[in-house]
Structure 1
Amino acid sequence: MILSRLSIINFKNIAQADLSFSPNINCFLGNNGMGKTNLLDAIYYLSFCKSYSHIADSQIIRHDEDFFMLQGYYDNNGNEEEVYCGMKKRQKKQFKRNKKEYGRLSDHIGFIPLVMVSPSDSDLILGGSDERRRFLDLVISQFDKNYLDTLIRYNKALAQRNALLKQEIKDAALYEIWEEQMSVTGEEIFKQRKSFLSTFIPVFQEFYTYISGGNESVGLSYRSHHEHGELFAQLAEVRERDRILGYTTRGSHKDELEMTLGEYPMKRIGSQGQNKTFLIALKLAQFDFLNRNGFTSPILLLDDIFDKLDSQRMERIISLVSEERFGQIFITDTNREYLDEIIRKTGHDFHLYQVIQGNIESLKEEK
């Protein structure tokens, strides 16, 4: 999948932009706070119907404006696809593919596979387990529509059970309706997550070993209540305690993806460089998985990835993303030296832009 052209109006600090992109490498240079990340977020939004930063749609509209609009034109194996998103204040957003509006936004997920590496990814290591589950769900949902539908049904059943708990309702039959749905859908989620990680983890470890120079050992391990028997019985067992707490303490929404460096939690002992290497290896493994299992090559967004890395790790990452398999890449940085190094190594055509206060100008174009 190649993003050929992008039009932006009133998206965060970008008032207006009409851009044409290289099918290979697109570099955006500028100081922090200028709008480089916002540009990548606009591309991300057209893939996932939401911002990478998880902010509300109403906060995306540029200050003192009444709407935002994104329009992307993609080359899908020789066929042009138009994806449009627009929203006015206090109104529902519209999402269209080739001028036809989606009935459900979830139907769009996976059509434009995309992987983004960002400084905010540190939450994957340092944040709560919900961040790590979101990562799993995002990857799997991009190639498996059934998984996303199952996840939606699980979350609806979970919300209904939590509502009963908060109302302090004691009728067991009412709980059993939703607990049965949570058990069935949760078991499927567990199987899918476990199957995905069995193939994902070795690839992740290979990327980490290469970037780090082979001097460190890292691991990922999956923990779930489903490992301890049928969820339906577990929910019945903790129902009284959950009623006191007012929320559900067992289920797929409590699964954990443990990240380790050696024998210890990554979040406790990892340096800034090690954490960043861990995250980049995760995302490159995500790209590799989608590339092998999807119908088209993902778009890769790399936002300020070289900060906190030593020269050897930077060199290895540059070497990796220069490989042919990585297709179309969008890169931001404050230092042109790194961007020029990537361009030099690939030998591909590229577009280079300067971003200043939300204004995006072409610096150089080479074919």
Structure 2
Amino acid sequence: MFLQSLSLQYFKNYEKVEVSFCDHFNCLVGINGSGKTNVLDAIHYLSTTKSAFHALDAQSINHDGQYFVINGQFCLNDKESKVHCSLKKNSRKTFKVDDYEYEKLSEHVGKFPIVLIAPNDDELIRESNETRRKFFNSIISQYDQKYLHSLIKYNHHLKQRNALLKSMNESGRMDDVMIEAYNEPLIVLGQEIAKTRKSFIKEFLPHLQANYDRISDKREKVSVVYHTKVLDKNFAEQLAKGTQKDVITQRTNLGIHRDEYLFEIDDFLIKKYGSQGQQKSLLISLKLAQFEFIKSHLGQTPILLLDDIFDKLDDGRISQLMSIIGSNDFGQVFVTDAREERTRSLLQGKFEPMKIFQVSGNTIQELD
């Protein structure tokens, strides 16, 4: 699978631009702020139906526009497919594949898989468990539609339960019958989701360790430890007993939305005890393991997006990463870099076919 062409209208800094890509390495070069990352985000939209960097779709509309349009043409299993994403201000987002409009955007997830390695990936280590839950949810959801649908249903029931808790807090009246009605689906769906997460981690860990060994040239043991209370035998009792606290805080304090993923190296938390180099190696290994996992489960080679990684990694890790990506396991790759000469020295002559594009003045121009 690869992206043949991309057209943008009023998307972020672009008013109108069209560009054609090759099926292997595509390099976007230009000064910081020129719009290189915005191209990768447009590709992310076409794959996942949403931005990799903004929570609100309206933030992706050009300041001079009232809408944005992203069109991409993919080659998938020797068949061309057109993917369309558009949004008008104060309107519902439209998403189509070959003129078929989805009723639910979740139907599209996993059809055109991508993996993004970006500078803000260090949030996976530094930030809260919510960031790690989102990361692993995104992996599982690309190949397991049942998991995705269960997660959507769970979040719907959780939102309703939290609204009830707020109402009870404000009124001072308990409604045990309604609480029990919301507890039941949270328990059933939560246990289903937790079991999937648990089995996923077991299968994912060998991929993570193998890639960490390749990136770091070390034999340290890395792991992801998954903690959940949902699979406890007495979880239903815990949830019921916690109702009073939930009313006070106006939120549900137990459930899979509170699950923890802990990254460890030699059985110590990497967030606290890992060096900067070990943390960077783990982050790259996580993304490469994500790539392998999605590829094996979907039978499709994801598009790999590398955003500004040359400024974030030392020469040794760049060399290791490029060596890995240069193997036959990878297909189409997009790379952004602020320095054209560095991109040419690292990649030209080593990865063919390859195209280099100059991004400047809200335009994208292919270079010789």
Bin of the TM-score, shorter chain as denominator length: over 0.9
TM-score, normalization: structure 2?
0.95
Alpha-carbon shift at residue 356 of structure 1 (Å): 1.5
Opposite residue 15 of structure 2, the aligned amino acid is A
Alignment of 1:356 onto 2:360? yes
Residue 29 of structure 2: aligned partner: 29
Deviations 1:251-270, CA, capped at 9 Å, x for gaps = 00001110123343222244
> How many angstroms apart in 1 are the aligned matches of 2:2 and 2:365?
21
In the superposition, relative to structure 1, how do residues 5 and 269 fare at CA in structure 2: closer, same or farther (>3 Å)? same
> How many angstroms apart in 2 are the aligned matches of 1:113 and 1:340?
29
Residue 185 of structure 1: aligned partner: 189
> How many angstroms apart in 2 are the aligned matches of 1:25 and 1:84?
23
In the superposition, relative to structure 1, how do residues 180 and 198 fare at CA in structure 2: closer, same or farther (>3 Å)? same
> How many angstroms apart in 1 are the aligned matches of 2:101 and 2:223?
42
Alpha-carbon shift at residue 102 of structure 1 (Å): 0.8
Alignment of 1:344 onto 2:349? yes
Q: Which moved more, 1:127-136 or 1:263-272?
A: 263-272
> How many angstroms apart in 2 are the aligned matches of 1:161 and 1:185?
14
Residue 308 of structure 1: aligned partner: 312
In the superposition, relative to structure 1, how do residues 267 and 357 fare at CA in structure 2: closer, same or farther (>3 Å)? farther
Is contact 1:212–1:313 with CA below 8 Å preserved after alignment?
A: yes
Opposite residue 22 of structure 1, the aligned amino acid is C
Residue 80 of structure 2: aligned partner: 80
Residue 93 of structure 1: aligned partner: 93
In the superposition, relative to structure 1, how do residues 360 and 272 fare at CA in structure 2: closer, same or farther (>3 Å)? farther
Alpha-carbon shift at residue 215 of structure 1 (Å): 5.5
Alignment of 1:261 onto 2:297? no
Residue 126 of structure 1: aligned partner: 126
Alpha-carbon shift at residue 233 of structure 1 (Å): 2.2
Residue 335 of structure 1: aligned partner: 339
> How many angstroms apart in 2 are the aligned matches of 1:57 and 1:309?
31
Alignment of 1:245 onto 2:246? no
Equivalent positions of 1:54-203 (< 5 A) are: 54-168=54-168, 169-203=173-207
In the superposition, relative to structure 1, how do residues 138 and 339 fare at CA in structure 2: closer, same or farther (>3 Å)? farther
Which of 283, 286, 291 is the aligned partner of 2:287? 283
TM-score, normalization: structure 1?
0.95
Q: CA RMSD in A?
A: 1.5
Deviations 1:299-349, CA, capped at 9 Å, x for gaps = 111111222322221111110011111111111112332454234333x21
Runs (5+) with no aligned partner, structure 2: none
Q: Which moved more, 1:283-292 or 1:208-217?
A: 208-217
Report the number of matched residues.
363
Residue 294 of structure 1: aligned partner: 298
Identity %: 41
Opposite residue 164 of structure 1, the aligned amino acid is L
In the superposition, relative to structure 1, how do residues 116 and 75 fare at CA in structure 2: closer, same or farther (>3 Å)? same
Q: Which moved more, 1:231-240 or 1:214-223?
A: 214-223
Which of 219, 226, 229 is the aligned partner of 2:230? 226
Is contact 1:8–1:14 with CA below 8 Å preserved after alignment?
A: yes
> How many angstroms apart in 1 are the aligned matches of 2:192 and 2:186?
10
> How many angstroms apart in 1 are the aligned matches of 2:344 and 2:204?
29
Alpha-carbon shift at residue 146 of structure 1 (Å): 0.6
Is contact 1:183–1:230 with CA below 8 Å preserved after alignment?
A: no
Alpha-carbon shift at residue 295 of structure 1 (Å): 3.3
Opposite residue 78 of structure 2, the aligned amino acid is G
Q: Which moved more, 1:325-334 or 1:305-314?
A: 305-314
Is contact 2:10–2:64 with CA below 8 Å preserved after alignment?
A: no
